[in-house]
A and B are shown apart, each in its own frame.
Chain A
């Protein structure tokens, strides 16, 4: 027990837990809308773009978050545009953008610093990556994401459930879709460095899917997804500390177990 408590005595651990809980909350809330709107893969695509931007930022010794957040936000808006005007099919657009960004990132890293542990920490996450400044920015941004989601909840529900009806009643559905994509972009970037570019999308998708197995109302799904997400994050981090496993992967495994559990519950009912 004292071993477990010692986990909280490290500053980097405190920072990681604080940011992690907030990002898990954001990811779960946004995830419900994204999964229901069939936008799940956007999170995955954006994380790859984030990797590319992060690689370039570190190659040129720029502040990582300050470069990555705007780049990924622009990519998110672009992805949504490509989807809606139908020139490139949505899934193909995501595949093109994400693999290109990943490739550019790898090329930049190999030319400048060479493939090293830094690359691995981008891809699979590192708990040590959060500086004091990053933490402050992450807390502010994730609180902003949470606040916007909660304030616009009735509108986001309407746009998620039935975009055509929402448009017909004078709601600017495009604005809310863009907002959803931008908030997702911010969440992906914040969570990416801890969870890893390859694993962050599961933080968005898993809690929503698990909650949808056991809850039947939108509000229920949102609350349940948020709870599952935070609990799985804390479990995953604890397991990672105790068993010395990579943090991002441990959180995803915790989410996978929760999903399995929820599926079983759904089957029994």
Chain B
């Protein structure tokens, strides 16, 4: 059963269409990479999937009991966060924000979940460290733990390896794949790195102001589009 379905969705700013004809569905356990050049509409689609921007036509539907607020989102880092005084624990716990409801403070269950996700990411020992003192790779793990606190079904990752060195980037990819396989959490990832995308993802969505390709990674590898985009290097 599809947990997310995009039906011929288009997005526009001030009447100018920036992305059109997006039509795909994501099943439970799928790993979808969204690729495309800068300005191809990837960020707009992310905003659409998070219900931060309404499509100008078409529709986006969530299925399998997934609520809008239950998507585990890992945004791109902002300059504000880099020198933000917060402990790792405070950041991860804030992932339970959507379960607060009308309550004013986090419950014991929220704290248990945050602790479990710290452990899952292998960063329990960083719990009391300050977020700003961590390496780029550690910071991304913290944000991934926070995203996991917010969801049981779907992670939405916006360029999670940007700015990481190759080793940390590789670890991050493996970690995400592991979550996808072991915990049966679906993943949607925006990335620039098309080689890694076809290696890890089950499905590829290629955007260029409209939907250029959607299908499995295996199909994508055979497509003319992929050959052009991959620079003829083959895989």
A154 near B130: Cβ-Cβ < 8 Å: no
A217 near B86: Cβ-Cβ < 8 Å: yes
The size bracket of the interface on B is 35 or more
B146 near A165: Cβ-Cβ < 8 Å: yes
Q: A152-B104, A155-B97 are in contact. Are A216 and B84 (CB under 8 A)?
A: no
Closest Cβ of chain A to B186, distance in Å, is 16
A216 near B104: Cβ-Cβ < 8 Å: no
Which of the segments A105-113, A129-137, A167-175 contacts the partner chain?
A167-175
Contact with A165, one of B75, B90, B133 (Cβ below 8 angstroms): B75
- Whether A215 sits at the interface, judged by CB under 8 Å, is yes
Q: List 20 A-B contacts (CB under 8 A).
A: A36-B80, A152-B104, A154-B105, A161-B80, A161-B81, A164-B52, A164-B78, A165-B94, A165-B95, A167-B52, A169-B73, A169-B98, A216-B87, A216-B129, A216-B130, A218-B84, A218-B85, A218-B87, A219-B87, A220-B87
Q: A158-B97, A216-B133, A217-B130 are in contact. Are A170 and B104 (CB under 8 A)?
A: no
Q: Which residues of chain A from 23 to 50 have a CB within 8 Å of any chain B CB?
A: 36-38
* A residues less than 8 Å from B199 (CB atoms): none
Closest Cβ of chain A to B142, distance in Å, is 11
Closest Cβ of chain A to B221, distance in Å, is 32
Per DSSP, are chain B's interface residues mostly helix, strand or loop, or mixed?
A: mixed
| CB within 8 Å: A-B pair count | 91
Contact with B94, one of A151, A158, A217, A221 (Cβ below 8 angstroms): A158
A162 near B105: Cβ-Cβ < 8 Å: no
Closest Cβ of chain B to A31, distance in Å, is 13
B85 near A155: Cβ-Cβ < 8 Å: no
What total of chain A residues lie within 8 Å of the partner, measured CB to CB? 28
* A residues less than 8 Å from B129 (CB atoms): 216
Q: Which residues of chain B from 143 to 183 have a CB within 8 Å of any chain A CB?
A: 146, 150, 156
For the complex of A and B, list the 7 residue pairs with the smallest distance between their C-beta atoms, beginning with the closest.
A170-B69, A216-B130, A217-B87, A169-B98, A168-B73, A218-B86, A158-B94
